[in-house]
Structure 1
Amino acid sequence: MLQTLSIKQFAIIDELEIQFGQGLTVLSGETGAGKSIIIDAIGQLIGMRASSNFVRHGEKKAIIEGIFDIDDSKEAISILHDLSIDVDEDFLLVKREIFSSGKSICRVNNQTVTLQDLRKIMQELLDIHGQHETQTLLKQKYHLQLLDNYAENTYKDLLDKYVVTYDKYKAKKKELEDLESADQALLQRLDLLKFQYEELQEANLLEDEVTQLEIDIKRIQNSESLSLALNNAHVTLTDEHAITDRLYELSNQLQSISEILPDKYDRLKEDVDQFYYTLEDAKHQLYDDLTNTEFDEQYLNELESRMNLLNSLKRKYGKDINELIIYQDKMADEINKIENYEESTAQLRQEIDDLYHNVIELGEKLSKERRKVAQSLRNHIVDEIQNLQMKDANLEISFKTLDVPNREGIELVEFLISPNKGEPLKSLNKIASGGELSRIMLALKTIFVKTRGQTAILFDEVDSGVSGQAAQKMAEKMKGLAKHIQVICISHLPQVASMSDHHLFISKNTSADRTTTQVQELTGEERIDEVARMISGASVTKLTRQNAKEMIEQNHKS
């Protein structure tokens, strides 16, 4: 949950710190006071797009900081560990700096992170739902996502298998299309491939050959100094003062000592003997290299010519020798495919046909599983929306077979609704009013919040277009949500405000030609006055204050 929000130089906010508590928090105030600006600030903490317009006029940067309690979010903690971010499993500090240039910096627990990583972390903690998000309900693709999210892991393995098979099917189709569309170009490419393949074949490339060539060329080029060094080393081990002779004598002396002092010098004698044999081996190796070291100009020319050829091939193809060997094998495969074009295309068509049947078979199995879950989801949604003063509403989840399967499946999924008895089921974008959409979205949030594992949700005027009993039911629904998750809500409804655990009043103040936003937590009489203002929409009377007081008392009894 979000515990503390600190905002500096953001839009019309000069400097502000807000403490948030558990349960339902309502933000209210006159239009334009800055309620949505606070939501925008929180949006920066979850990775929404930054803008230079967010920086207060005349300032260099805006700073937003949030402290989150992550004790109950195992998913977020796991992601933090994966990103090598230091984790205090109780609290998370998120900071976003937005500069007047439009650039921004994100930090999590004082470690700089990318915007993508910030979003990955925060999607496990907090969700912002605004009026614009309600419109996503009108998109069919969103309906399928809702269904799959509701299913959780019910058919995840089957869906993963379907996607893998579909991707293979599409890749093979692309391969066939490339072959068929490049019929004439293939013949020209075949000539080029053959020329290149024969050139590389003739070069008889070997792995790591360049490294060995460099060693051999250096050896021959330095044969005179190498021969001298080898000779001197060999003489050191073979002349009348050779160290090997002295070591041999030392070994015999140690043997005599060991016969008198058993065990004490045995290890030393073993070390001396080992060193003696090592030098003896070195003596023979030096002699072999000495007899084989001579300046061979012809051999040097051959090596340099070979090196020039390899360097030329590397420059020509833009690859090192090991890569050219792999490229050579790939060319052989491609040449074989082109030369056996008919056979290759026939085989591809058979593979595509087999994969298509697998896609359809898996898609049908996936459809059966989805339909089972869809019935459960449909019942769940209907229960929720009927509880929001849409008692005669009906909803069905429609499945329509696609002419061509896609990566999501073989069917289109759409939520169809009849808000009133006797009306036919229709698409949401054809019949649902703003208030109905708000209630449906709240119903969906109620369902999905409990399964997503997030710790906070923000509603930005989700109750727009709702009044009367429907408003009371929405307030009760938000209150119910707040038992499972922290709920922060911008609202103009007195029913929602009176139901809240915490009521924050947002106002703006103008002084010295600057406008600033202020936040005050309302309690007691101040809270009654604000709920009364929300009831009347104008001047507060004794009657509206009495209504407000009764509403607050009643809602906190239930």
Structure 2
Amino acid sequence: MLQTLSIKQFAIIDELEVHFGDGLTVLSGETGAGKSIIIDAIGQLIGMRASSNYVRHGEKKAVIEGIFDIDESKEAMSILEALDIDIDEDFLLVKREIFSTGKSLCRVNNQIVTLQDLRKIMQELLDIHGQHETQTLLKQKYHLQLLDNYAEDTYSNLLNDYVSTYDQYNAKRKELQDLESADQALLQRLDLLKFQYEELQEAKLVEGEVKQLESDIKRIQNSENLSLALNNAHLTLTDEHAITDRLYELSNQLQAISHILPEKYDTLKEEVDQFYYTLEDAKHQLYDELTNTEFDEQYLNELESRMNLLNDLKRKYGKDINELIVYQTKLDDEINKIENYEESTSQLRKEIDDLYDKVMQLGTKLSKERRTVAQKLRNHIVEEIQNLQMKDANLEISFKPLEKPNREGIEFVEFLISPNKGEPLKSLNKIASGGELSRIMLALKTIFVKTRGQTAILFDEVDSGVSGQAAQKMAEKMKDLATYIQVICISHLPQVATMSDHHLYISKNSKDDRTTTHVQELSGDDRVDEIARMISGASVTELSRQNAKEMIEQNQQT
């Protein structure tokens, strides 16, 4: 839930801090006081598009900060962990800076994140529903997603199997299309592939060969210096003053001493003997190396030619030798595929047909499961709508076969509604009445917000066009929803305001030729006066105040 909102230099807001509680919070105030600006500021925290117009005139940047309690959102926690964002005691600090240049910067717990990542996090925490919203709930393309969300885990494994099979089917179709569309081009490509393959095959590439060549070339190029050093080292171990001879004599003397003092000199004699044998091995190794070291100009030329060939291949293909060996294998596979074009396409077509049959089988099972859940959802939605003073409303979830399956299934799913008795079922976005649309949207939000697991929802004048008993029912519905998640609502309806747990009054003042917005939490007589204003308009009478008191008492008891 949103706990604190801090706004600086945003539109007409100079500096403002608002604290939100749980339950139902209502924001009210005169038109133009800045209620929508506060909604726009919260919108920046969930990743809505920024604009330099949001920066207060004459300032360099606007800053919006929000503190969210994420203790109850496992989904948000998972996303934060995946993004490697530190989580401090289940609180999340979200900051958005908007510059007068039009650029913006997003931070989550003081770590810079992309706008896309910000949206990914915040969609699990806060949902903003505007008065004229047409996305998600109104558009048909989202209806199947809403149905699947409502189903939760009822058919999740079946849906995963369907998607996986469809992806395989689609990949094979693309592979076949690529082969068929590139028929002539493939033949031309075949010549190039064969040339490259034969060139690499002729080179007889060996993994790690370059390193060995470098060592051998270096050895031959430095054979004179190497021979001299080897000879001097060998003489050190073989001349009349050879250290091995002296060590042999030392070993004999230590043996004589160890007979008298074994506890002190046995170990020393063993160490000297070990050193002696090590030097003897070195002497033979140096001799073998010395006899094999000579300058061979022809062999050096061969090595350098080989090295030049490998370097040319590396430059030509832009790969090292190990990568060229792998590339050679790929070339062989692609050559075989092209040369066996008819066989390859025939096999692909069979695989595609088999996968299509499997897609349709899984899609049919999935459709059956969806229809069962759709009936439950339909009954749930109708119940919610009828509770909002639309007693004759009806809704159906329509399933129509697609011409060909897609990644979502084999059918076209759409929510159709008849708001009044005798009216035909029609798409949600064809509803003309603003009041009916508001109530339908609230009913749908009530259902889908609970299934999505979000912790807060913000309604921006969702009760527009509603009055009387319908307004009372909407207020009760928002209050009910607020028992599950935090609800923040901009409203002009006194029925909603009297149901609230917190009532924030938005006003604006002018000072030094600048307009600023203020927020005040109302209680007692101040709250009564504001609700009286909402009932009667600009002038507050004693009668309207009495009416406001009665509404507050009645709705609080309810």
Report what 2:49 is aligned to: 49
Report what 1:422 is aligned to: 422
Report what 2:101 is aligned to: 101
Over residues 508-532 of structure 1, what are the superposed CA-to-partner deviations in whole Å (9 max), with x where a residue is unaligned? 1122121111111111111111111
1:328 aligns with 2:323: no
Instruction: Report the Cα distance in structure 1 between the residues aligned to 2:269 and 2:3, rounded to whole angstroms.
Output: 74
Matches within 5 A, 1:177-216: 177-216=177-216
Report what 2:408 is aligned to: 408
Instruction: Report the Cα distance in structure 2 between the residues aligned to 1:186 and 1:511, rounded to whole angstroms.
Output: 75
Instruction: Report the Cα distance in structure 1 between the residues aligned to 2:397 and 2:167, rounded to whole angstroms.
Output: 27
Matches within 5 A, 1:220-259: 220-244=220-244
Q: Aligned AA for 2:465?
A: G
For residue 66 of structure 1, report the CA deviation from its aligned partner: 1.2
Over residues 197-242 of structure 1, what are the superposed CA-to-partner deviations in whole Å (9 max), with x where a residue is unaligned? 1111111122232222222222222222233333333344444555
Q: Relative to 1, partners in 2 of residues 1:152 and 1:260: Cα closer, same or farther, differing over 3 Å?
A: farther
Given that 1:258 and 1:264 are in contact with CA atoms closer than 8 Å, whether structure 2 keeps it comes out as yes
Instruction: Report the Cα distance in structure 1 between the residues aligned to 2:44 and 2:248, rounded to whole angstroms.
Output: 80
Instruction: Report the Cα distance in structure 2 between the residues aligned to 1:257 and 1:124, rounded to whole angstroms.
Output: 85
Moved more, 339-348 or 408-417: 339-348
Instruction: Report the Cα distance in structure 1 between the residues aligned to 2:92 and 2:123, rounded to whole angstroms.
Output: 14
Instruction: Report the Cα distance in structure 1 between the residues aligned to 2:125 and 2:264, rounded to whole angstroms.
Output: 71
For residue 243 of structure 1, report the CA deviation from its aligned partner: 4.8
Instruction: Report the Cα distance in structure 2 between the residues aligned to 1:78 and 1:271, rounded to whole angstroms.
Output: 62
Report what 1:341 is aligned to: 341
1:313 aligns with 2:310: no
Over residues 371-390 of structure 1, what are the superposed CA-to-partner deviations in whole Å (9 max), with x where a residue is unaligned? 11111111111111111111
Report what 1:76 is aligned to: 76
For residue 363 of structure 1, report the CA deviation from its aligned partner: 0.8
Instruction: Report the Cα distance in structure 2 between the residues aligned to 1:144 and 1:71, rounded to whole angstroms.
Output: 30
Given that 1:419 and 1:432 are in contact with CA atoms closer than 8 Å, whether structure 2 keeps it comes out as no
For residue 248 of structure 1, report the CA deviation from its aligned partner: 5.4
Q: Aligned AA for 2:384?
A: E
Over residues 114-169 of structure 1, what are the superposed CA-to-partner deviations in whole Å (9 max), with x where a residue is unaligned? 22222222222222221343454332111001001111122222212211211121
Report what 2:167 is aligned to: 167
Report what 1:137 is aligned to: 137
Q: Relative to 1, partners in 2 of residues 1:306 and 1:542: Cα closer, same or farther, differing over 3 Å?
A: same
Report what 2:87 is aligned to: 87
Moved more, 365-374 or 204-213: 204-213
Over residues 308-337 of structure 1, what are the superposed CA-to-partner deviations in whole Å (9 max), with x where a residue is unaligned? 112222222222222222222222122112
Report what 2:524 is aligned to: 524
Matches within 5 A, 1:446-525: 446-525=446-525
Q: Relative to 1, partners in 2 of residues 1:303 and 1:524: Cα closer, same or farther, differing over 3 Å?
A: same
Instruction: Report the Cα distance in structure 1 between the residues aligned to 2:471 and 2:253, rounded to whole angstroms.
Output: 106
Instruction: Report the Cα distance in structure 2 between the residues aligned to 1:263 and 1:82, rounded to whole angstroms.
Output: 65
For residue 264 of structure 1, report the CA deviation from its aligned partner: 7.0
Report what 2:29 is aligned to: 29
Given that 1:5 and 1:67 are in contact with CA atoms closer than 8 Å, whether structure 2 keeps it comes out as yes
Instruction: Report the Cα distance in structure 1 between the residues aligned to 2:169 and 2:251, rounded to whole angstroms.
Output: 76
Q: Relative to 1, partners in 2 of residues 1:243 and 1:487: Cα closer, same or farther, differing over 3 Å?
A: farther
For residue 423 of structure 1, report the CA deviation from its aligned partner: 2.7
Instruction: Report the Cα distance in structure 2 between the residues aligned to 1:36 and 1:100, rounded to whole angstroms.
Output: 21
For residue 479 of structure 1, report the CA deviation from its aligned partner: 0.8
For residue 68 of structure 1, report the CA deviation from its aligned partner: 1.4
Instruction: Report the Cα distance in structure 1 between the residues aligned to 2:160 and 2:210, rounded to whole angstroms.
Output: 45
Over residues 521-553 of structure 1, what are the superposed CA-to-partner deviations in whole Å (9 max), with x where a residue is unaligned? 111111111111111233222211111111111
1:437 aligns with 2:437: yes
Instruction: Report the Cα distance in structure 1 between the residues aligned to 2:253 and 2:454, rounded to whole angstroms.
Output: 81
For residue 344 of structure 1, report the CA deviation from its aligned partner: 1.3
Moved more, 114-123 or 53-62: 114-123
For residue 173 of structure 1, report the CA deviation from its aligned partner: 1.3
Q: Relative to 1, partners in 2 of residues 1:364 and 1:221: Cα closer, same or farther, differing over 3 Å?
A: same
Q: Aligned AA for 1:439?
A: R
Q: Relative to 1, partners in 2 of residues 1:2 and 1:297: Cα closer, same or farther, differing over 3 Å?
A: same
Given that 1:363 and 1:410 are in contact with CA atoms closer than 8 Å, whether structure 2 keeps it comes out as yes
Instruction: Report the Cα distance in structure 1 between the residues aligned to 2:378 and 2:269, rounded to whole angstroms.
Output: 88
Q: TM (normalized to structure 2)?
A: 0.94
For residue 258 of structure 1, report the CA deviation from its aligned partner: 6.7
Moved more, 148-157 or 105-114: 105-114
Instruction: Report the Cα distance in structure 2 between the residues aligned to 1:271 and 1:512, rounded to whole angstroms.
Output: 95
Q: Aligned AA for 1:31?
A: T
What secondary structure sits across from 1:65 in the alignment? Answer: strand
Q: Relative to 1, partners in 2 of residues 1:194 and 1:535: Cα closer, same or farther, differing over 3 Å?
A: same
Q: What fraction of aligned residue pairs are identical, expressed as a percent? A: 87
Instruction: Report the Cα distance in structure 2 between the residues aligned to 1:457 and 1:228, rounded to whole angstroms.
Output: 85
Instruction: Report the Cα distance in structure 1 between the residues aligned to 2:494 and 2:528, rounded to whole angstroms.
Output: 10
Instruction: Report the Cα distance in structure 1 between the residues aligned to 2:63 and 2:251, rounded to whole angstroms.
Output: 79
Given that 2:431 and 2:437 are in contact with CA atoms closer than 8 Å, whether structure 1 keeps it comes out as no
Matches within 5 A, 1:112-151: 112-151=112-151
Instruction: Report the Cα distance in structure 2 between the residues aligned to 1:308 and 1:276, rounded to whole angstroms.
Output: 45
Q: Aligned AA for 1:381?
A: I
RMSD: 2.3
Moved more, 172-181 or 255-264: 255-264
Q: Relative to 1, partners in 2 of residues 1:312 and 1:364: Cα closer, same or farther, differing over 3 Å?
A: same
Instruction: Report the Cα distance in structure 2 between the residues aligned to 1:20 and 1:200, rounded to whole angstroms.
Output: 70
Q: Aligned AA for 1:30?
A: E
Q: Relative to 1, partners in 2 of residues 1:229 and 1:518: Cα closer, same or farther, differing over 3 Å?
A: farther
Q: TM (normalized to structure 1)?
A: 0.94
Q: Relative to 1, partners in 2 of residues 1:509 and 1:328: Cα closer, same or farther, differing over 3 Å?
A: same
Given that 1:130 and 1:460 are in contact with CA atoms closer than 8 Å, whether structure 2 keeps it comes out as yes
Report what 1:285 is aligned to: 285
Instruction: Report the Cα distance in structure 2 between the residues aligned to 1:352 and 1:83, rounded to whole angstroms.
Output: 38
Gaps of 5+ in 2: none
For residue 183 of structure 1, report the CA deviation from its aligned partner: 2.0
1:533 aligns with 2:529: no
Instruction: Report the Cα distance in structure 2 between the residues aligned to 1:263 and 1:438, rounded to whole angstroms.
Output: 101
Moved more, 245-254 or 199-208: 245-254
Given that 1:134 and 1:437 are in contact with CA atoms closer than 8 Å, whether structure 2 keeps it comes out as no
What secondary structure sits across from 2:488 in the alignment? Answer: strand
What secondary structure sits across from 2:107 in the alignment? Answer: strand
For residue 402 of structure 1, report the CA deviation from its aligned partner: 0.5
Q: Relative to 1, partners in 2 of residues 1:279 and 1:515: Cα closer, same or farther, differing over 3 Å?
A: farther
Over residues 161-194 of structure 1, what are the superposed CA-to-partner deviations in whole Å (9 max), with x where a residue is unaligned? 2112111211211121122222222221122221
Q: Relative to 1, partners in 2 of residues 1:270 and 1:73: Cα closer, same or farther, differing over 3 Å?
A: farther
For residue 290 of structure 1, report the CA deviation from its aligned partner: 2.5
Q: Aligned AA for 1:428?
A: L
What secondary structure sits across from 1:403 in the alignment? Answer: strand
Given that 1:70 and 1:89 are in contact with CA atoms closer than 8 Å, whether structure 2 keeps it comes out as no
For residue 13 of structure 1, report the CA deviation from its aligned partner: 0.9
What secondary structure sits across from 1:31 in the alignment? Answer: coil
What secondary structure sits across from 1:201 in the alignment? Answer: helix
Q: Relative to 1, partners in 2 of residues 1:479 and 1:306: Cα closer, same or farther, differing over 3 Å?
A: same
Instruction: Report the Cα distance in structure 1 between the residues aligned to 2:450 and 2:524, rounded to whole angstroms.
Output: 32
Q: Relative to 1, partners in 2 of residues 1:420 and 1:196: Cα closer, same or farther, differing over 3 Å?
A: same
Instruction: Report the Cα distance in structure 2 between the residues aligned to 1:92 and 1:243, rounded to whole angstroms.
Output: 74
Instruction: Report the Cα distance in structure 1 between the residues aligned to 2:7 and 2:166, rounded to whole angstroms.
Output: 47
Given that 2:224 and 2:294 are in contact with CA atoms closer than 8 Å, whether structure 1 keeps it comes out as yes
Given that 2:67 and 2:92 are in contact with CA atoms closer than 8 Å, whether structure 1 keeps it comes out as yes
For residue 480 of structure 1, report the CA deviation from its aligned partner: 1.0
Given that 2:134 and 2:429 are in contact with CA atoms closer than 8 Å, whether structure 1 keeps it comes out as no
